[in-house]
Copies of this chain bind each other. A is one copy, B any other.
Amino acid sequence: MGSAAAGPAFDAAELRALLDGRWASVREKVRASLRENDLANADDLDTESHRARTLEQLRLLAKSGVPELGFPVAQGGGGDQGGSVVSLELLAGNLSLMVKSGVQWGLFGGAVVALGTERHHERYLRDIMSVELPGCFAMTETGHGSDVQRLRTTATYDETTQEFAVHTPHEAARKEYIGNAARDGRMAVVFAQLITGGNGNTGAKSHGVHALLVPIRDEAGNPCEGVRIEDCGRKAGLNGVDNGRLYFDRVRVPRENLLNRYGDVAEDGTYSSPIDSEGKRFFTMLGTLIRGRISVAGTAGSAAKLALEIALRYADARRQFDRPGGDEEVVVLDYLAHQRKLLPALAKSFALHFAQEELVQALDEVQRGGDERAQRELESRAAGLKAVTTWHATHTIQTCREACGGAGYLTENQLAGLKADTDVFTTFEGDNTVLLQLVAKGLLTNYKDQFDGIGTLGLAKFVADQFVGAVIERSAAHSIVQRIIDASNKDDILDRGWQLKAFQDREEHVLDGLGRRLRKANKDNAFDVFNNAQDHVLRAARVHIDRLVLDAFVAAVDRCRDPRNAELLDKLCDLYALSIVEEDKAWFLEHERISPRRAKAITQAINTLCGELRPHAVDLVEAFGMPRQWLTAPIATGAESARQGAQIAHDRANPLP
C-alpha cells in the first residue's frame, strides 16, 4: 500500500533541502553527532541513574561542539543563535537531554550572555559551554510563574560590605521547578527585586526585578551557606532533569555578581540603568531571553513529527477488519477516520515547520541588530507560535497514541514517553493562555487611540505589559501573500487566494470586534470588561497566529522548484488551510463568510485531500529528517509488517476449516 518500498513519488532530496532550510548544515552536523554518540534516552532507569546519565550525555554533547554555536565568538562560541535553536530541536528523541541542554546553555548561559557584561562573559562562559560550571535559571517562584514581574525574592544591597543579600521572605517566594537545582547545579542566575539603600532601613528603594549570579553548591556538591535545596521529586516526564526548589536565607554575594547590562549598582549603592521605566527595563531583559521560548516551540514541533512518523508507519502496516468483497484485511491508514486523525496533523506539522523556520530567521536578524519594533514582533511571534505549536504537539501525540491502540501505550513504542515529556511544554517558558493574551495585547496596540486608558487603567499590566506601543502586522511572506491575493479572483475553496483572504478577513474582523468591546472599559469596570471578553482576546491571538502560519506555508510552497514537490506541498497547504477553516466553521458560518453549502464542500474537500495524500504520507513524514537514532519503536521499524506478512502467508497455507 505505502509507497515506501518503491521510493517516494517526489524529489525527496529537494524536499529535505527545503525543510532543512537555512540551517541545513547545522542539522546535518547534529544528525552526524547523534550517529557518533550514544545519546539514547534513558527513561528506563531509576531517577538517580537517569539524572546521572543525562548529565553524562550533556557532557558528551558539549564535546561535540554543537552547544557552542549560540555563544559569543569572543569566548569561542559560534555567534549563531538560530543554529543553536535548530540544533536543540533535533534532540526530540531524548527530551530530558534537550531540556537539560536548554537549561544549561539556553537559559543559564543565555542569561549570562544577555544580561551580563564582559566581566561575566570572560569569567564564566567557557565553563558554561564545557559544563565545568553546571547552572540554573532561577526565575519562577512557587507563587509567581506567569506574573514574574511580581517575584518576591529580594536582593538588598549593603554598601557597607558591597554585597547583595539574596532572600526568600516566605514559602511562596521559593524558587520552584528549577532545572539543574536538585542535583547538579553549582550556580544560579537568580531573579529578585533589587533594593538599594536598604541596609539602614531608611531611604530604601526598589528597582524591580534584576538577575544575579548566586553560588548554590560548593565544589563538593554541598549547598552553600544559607541556601536550602529541595528536590521537586518525580514529574510526569523529563525525569532526567533534576528540578528543585531554592530557598535563600540572606545569602551574601559580591556586588559584581549582579548581571548589570540593564541596571547596575555602584559601590556606594547608587542605582543606574540605560532604561528609565522599571516595567520597560524588565521586559527588555525578558526579551533578550526569547531564545528559550523559540526552542520549546521548535522541539515541540519535532516531537510531534516523531510521533506522527511512528503512528503513520504503524498505520501503513497494521491491518484490521476484512475488506468487504475482498480477501485481505484493510490497512488501517486506508480508513477515512484514521486519515482524518493523522493527515491534517501532518499538514499542520509542515505549516508550523515553515513558520518556525521564519521565526528562527527573525531571531537571527534581531540578534545581528534589529530595531525595537523588530524585537517586539519577534517576541509576539515567539509567544504565539510557542502556544500554538506546543498545543499541536500535545494534541497530536495524544492522537498518535490512540491511533496506535494498545501498542501505543507500551513504553517501547515511544509515544508514552513523548507524551509525558512534552506535556509541560504548554506550561513552561510561558503558560500558553498567558502567552496568547500577550499576543493579543500586541495586536491591540493598533487600537490604542480608541481606548487610550489601557495603560492607565491597569489593563495593560493585566494583559501582560510586554508591548510598548508596537504594531504587529506583517509576516515575512507579506509580499508573496499580497501577490497571490491580488492575482486571485476565484471564489473557490481550493484557490490559495481565497484561503488567504479568508484568514486575513477573519483576523481583522475578530480584532475589530475586540477593540470595540474593550473600548467600553473605564476606571471602574476595567477588570470586568476585560474578563468578560477573555475568550474573545484568546481567539484574536489564535486567528492571528493561524494567519502568520498560513503565510509562512504559502511562502515555502513558493520557494519549491520541483513540480512534483510543489504539487504535494500545495495539497498539504490546502489541507492545512481547510482544516483550520473547518475547525472554526462556526465562525465562518456565523459571520456569513461561507454558506452552508460551502461548509459541506470544505468537509468533502478535506476528505478528498486525505485520500490523495494518503499514499505519500509515510514518505512525507520521513522528509522531515528526524534523526534515525530516535526511531526505535518496534511497531514503526518493521515488527508489525513482519507480523502481518507472516499472518497472511500462514492464512494462505492454512485456511480455517
Name A's B-contacting residues (CB within 8 A): 44, 46, 140, 142-147, 150, 152, 169-173, 176-177, 193, 195, 197-198, 204-206, 232-237, 320-326, 329-330, 334-337, 340, 394, 398, 401-402, 405-406, 408-412, 415-416, 419-420, 423-424, 426-428, 431-433, 457-459, 461-462, 464, 523-524, 526-527, 530-532, 534-535, 538, 585-586, 589-592, 596, 599-600, 603, 607, 642-644, 646-647, 650, 654, 656-657
Known: A173-B647, A647-B143. A427 touches B405 (CB 8 A): yes
Ranked 7 nearest A-B pairs via Cβ? A324-B458, A236-B416, A585-B586, A204-B657, A234-B411, A589-B589, A586-B586
**A643 and B406 within 8 A (CB):** no
**A336 and B526 within 8 A (CB):** no
**B412 and A337 within 8 A (CB):** no
**A526 and B324 within 8 A (CB):** yes
Known: A143-B643, A647-B152, A650-B169. A426 touches B402 (CB 8 A): yes
Q: Which residues of B contact A538 (CB under 8 A)?
A: 337
Q: Which residues of B contact A416 (CB under 8 A)?
A: 234-237, 420, 423
How far is B304's CA from A403's CA once the two chains are assembled, in angstroms?
Answer: 22
Partner of A321, one of B169, B171, B325, B461: B461
Q: Which residues of B contact A599 (CB under 8 A)?
A: 586, 590
A-B contact pairs, 23 of them (CB 8 A): A46-B46, A143-B643, A143-B644, A147-B329, A150-B329, A170-B643, A170-B650, A171-B643, A172-B647, A176-B406, A177-B406, A204-B657, A234-B412, A234-B416, A236-B401, A324-B527, A325-B458, A337-B534, A402-B432, A406-B424, A409-B423, A535-B607, A589-B596
Q: Which residue of B lies closest to A424 (CB)?
A: B409
Q: Which residues of B contact A433 (CB under 8 A)?
A: 337
Besides the known contacts A324-B457, A325-B527, 12 further A-B residue pairs in the complex with CB atoms under 8 A apart: A143-B643, A150-B322, A172-B646, A177-B409, A206-B656, A322-B458, A324-B530, A325-B458, A325-B526, A335-B534, A340-B535, A401-B423
Partner of A145, one of B405, B523, B531: B405
Q: Which residue of B lies closest to A427 (CB)?
A: B405
Please give the count of copies of this chain that the complex contains.
2
**A531 and B334 within 8 A (CB):** yes
Q: Which residue of B lies closest to A408 (CB)?
A: B427
How far is B197's CA from A234's CA once the two chains are assembled, in angstroms?
Answer: 57
How far is B533's CA from A603's CA once the two chains are assembled, in angstroms?
Answer: 11
How far is B1's CA from A120's CA once the two chains are assembled, in angstroms?
Answer: 47
Known: A535-B607, A591-B596. A406 touches B145 (CB 8 A): yes
Closest chain-B Cβ to A302's Cβ sits at a distance in Å of 20
Q: Which residue of B lies closest to A533 (CB)?
A: B336
Known: A406-B176, A531-B334, A589-B586. A147 touches B321 (CB 8 A): yes
Closest chain-B Cβ to A640's Cβ sits at a distance in Å of 9
Q: Which residues of B contact A585 (CB under 8 A)?
A: 586, 590
How far is B321's CA from A431's CA once the two chains are assembled, in angstroms?
Answer: 13
**B643 and A142 within 8 A (CB):** yes
Partner of A337, one of B145, B169, B535, B643: B535
